[in-house]
Amino acid sequence: MNRNTWKGHERTVAYYFDTIRNPLSGGNSRVTRSDSRHETLYIELKSGKGVPHTWKAIEKLFLDTEEKAVKEGKIPIVVLKPAGTSANVQNWTCYARIPDGTFSGAIVGLPLRVIKALLDANKIAKPLPPYEPLDLGNSPPLEDVPTVSEADVRRLARRLEKSSTYGTSKDYSWEGTQHG
């Protein structure tokens, strides 16, 4: 593919989202690694024969893009324009994460015009921040933390089995439970 072709596609998508193409996208840019200079979107465009065709490849591309977007605090958008598809940018396939009731949301592929409408309606899920382990520097030593033995758990289970008052305010104190 002529290098001006994919640059033109990047320019078209950037214009569609009211921004400009990032001339040095990837690791060479000092502004963003995205294909555009959009403030809140991290846009990754693949066009031509190198467009991934399997779900596994598309998912990998999206997750890689999402990882980069999280670092910049942006919403990841992956746009695919296979060779021979319509020049109408609104119909190019676009992947984004849509809230679906799960913690992270579902990755879906929709026409670009639908993704833009969802973005305008704030229906696109923002990426989760990277997991960072808790700082346990100020926590008490493990020997000071109260523990519950298996015997204590079995004793409580027997008390609950004997009782017919599940869900009432009856006190189920753990007599004999040893802490420490």
pLDDT in tens, 70-119: 888 888 899 998 888 888 888 888 998 887 666 677 888 888 888 888 88
Cα–Cα distance between 123 and 121 in angstroms, integer?
A: 6
Quick one: pLDDT band at residue 58, thresholds 50, 70, 90? very high
Residue 144 lies in a domain: no
Number of domains in the chain: 1
Cα–Cα distance between 19 and 37 in angstroms, integer?
A: 6
Distance between first and last Cα of the chain:
69
Cα–Cα distance between 152 and 160 in angstroms, integer?
A: 12
Task: Tell which residue, 23, 3, 19, 132, has the closest CA to residue 77.
Answer: 19
Residue 158 lies in a domain: no
Mean pLDDT over the full length of the chain? 75
What pLDDT is recorded for position 57?
Answer: 93
Residue 16 lies in a domain: yes
What is the enclosing helix (H) or strand (E) of 97?
Answer: strand 93-98
- Beta-bridged to residue 29, according to DSSP, are none
CATH number at residue 106: 3.40.1350
Residue 22 lies in a domain: yes
Domain holding 29, by residue range, is 3-120
The 3-state DSSP class for residue 112 equals helix
The token pair that represents 152 in the structure block: 């204590």
Range in 42-51, 79-88, 116-125 the model is least confident about? 116-125
Separate counts of helices (H) and strands (E) for the chain: 4, 4
